[in-house]
Amino acid sequence: MSLTDTYTLANGETIPKVGFGTWQTPDGDVAESAVLSALKAGYRHIDTAAIYGNEESVGRGIAKSKVAREELFVTTKLWNSNHSYELAQKAIDESLQKLGLDYVDLYLIHCPNPKEFRENWQKANAQAWKAMEEAVEAGKIRSLGVSNFRSHHLDALMQTAKIKPVVNQIYLNPSDQQEEVVAYNQKHDILSEAYSPLGTGKIFTVPELKEIAATYKKTVSQIVLRLSLQHGFLPLPKSVHEDRIIENTQLFDFELSSSDMAAIDALKGQAGVASDPDK
């Protein structure tokens, strides 16, 4: 397995099994350089979002890399303030313009129940999804998905969706593996993508992980990312440091034992848990 190995999504499209995350990566030279370093290191899957404020820099990094567009998988997301048909249409076009791309491979609703639309979040999501479906038909988007959705949010969306979501990107690491959401995703052939697979850095303070990493002569981040892969998740590690970007690619020359996986799975709550999207 390597960075170019893929999962096949429910709609038949393929997606690289490890992505490069850009959440909390500052706009400008930092984001551009990080994306360039990631693509140089072999990543072919880049994840950003409108709210990250770095789509333009991510786009510049992609352009400067000279990697062929058909070799890349690029994701961005619809922010909370744009959950209507017209606003979603505009947001999709704005993201494409900022990224400098004709299409994105995956477009997600970032959150299911933003405060701006809390009184009627089901209708708001349905309207936004309609605009997203039309963008698929227009060739602007290849695949549709969601982020931070729980089962009741997905059930509501499925009542009107013509195109099924193929990805649910959620907070997912040894501290909180969101078993109920993952089980729902699996049942409905929705891939679970893991944002903050390293627990926004908190995972590095867990003594048990340090011990396990030492036995494999690997780093804590490599152990945690390998766990994500062995669970069938798609991790999205983020870094702005070239050495760590490279470190996070070195996941394919070892395998965690079932006993070590169980030990890591037992580390619940030690590095934070997912927030409730309805609060």
DSSP string, 195-254: ESTTGGGGGGG-HHHHHHHHHHT--HHHHHHHHHHHTT-EE----S-HHHHHHTT--SS-
Q: What is the pLDDT of residue 202?
A: 85
Q: Residue 1 has what pLDDT?
A: 85
Count the Cβ atoms, other than its own, within 10 Å of residue 130.
18
**Angle, vertex CA 242, rays to CA 241 and CA 243, nearest 5:** 95
> Distance from CA of residue 130 to its chain's centroid?
22
- pLDDT by residue (tens digit) across 184-225? 999 999 999 999 999 888 899 899 999 999 999 999 999 999
Q: Is 90 exceeded by the pLDDT of residue 40? A: yes
Banded model confidence at residue 130, pLDDT cuts 50, 70, 90: very high
Find out whether 115 and 131 touch, Cβ atoms under 8 Å: no
- For strands 14-16 and 6-8, give the pairing: antiparallel
Q: What is the mean pLDDT of residues 170-188?
A: 97
Could you give all domains of the chain from N- to C-terminal order, each with its CATH number?
A: 6-200+233-239 (3.20.20.100)
What was the pLDDT predicted at 156?
Answer: 98
Query: Token digits for 112?
Result: 């299911």
Q: How confident is the model at residue 170 (pLDDT cuts 50, 70, 90)?
A: very high
**Distances, alpha carbon 162 to alpha carbons 90, 132, 136, 159, 222, in Å:** 21, 11, 11, 9, 39
Q: Is 52 assigned a catalytic role?
A: yes
Amino acid at the residue 110: H
Q: Is the pLDDT of residue 270 over 90?
A: no
Catalytic residue among 52, 107, 171, 184: 52
Check residue 271 and give its pLDDT. 81
Residue-wise pLDDT for 65-111, tens only, equals: 999 999 999 999 999 999 999 999 999 999 999 999 999 999 999 99
23 within 8 A of 52, measured Cβ to Cβ: yes
Token representation of residue 192? 């679970």
- What six digits make up the tokens of 266? 């037992």
Q: What percent of the chain has pLDDT over 90?
A: 96
Contact yes or no for 23/195 (Cβ under 8 A)? yes
HSE (side-chain half, CA atoms, 13 Å) at 129:
24
For all residues of the chain together, what is the average pLDDT? 97
Span 138-154, mean pLDDT? Answer: 98
Identify each DSSP E strand in 93-140 by its residue range: 104-109
Q: What DSSP letter does each residue of 10-79 carry, written as one string?
A: TTS-EEESS-EE-TTPPTTHHHHHHHHHHHHHT--EEE--GGGT-HHHHHHHHHHHT--GGG-EEEEEE-
Give CA–CA dist 180/48, Å, rounded: 26
What is the structure's pLDDT at 235? 98
Percent of the chain whose predicted confidence (pLDDT) is above 70: 100
Residue 133 has pLDDT above 90, yes or no: yes
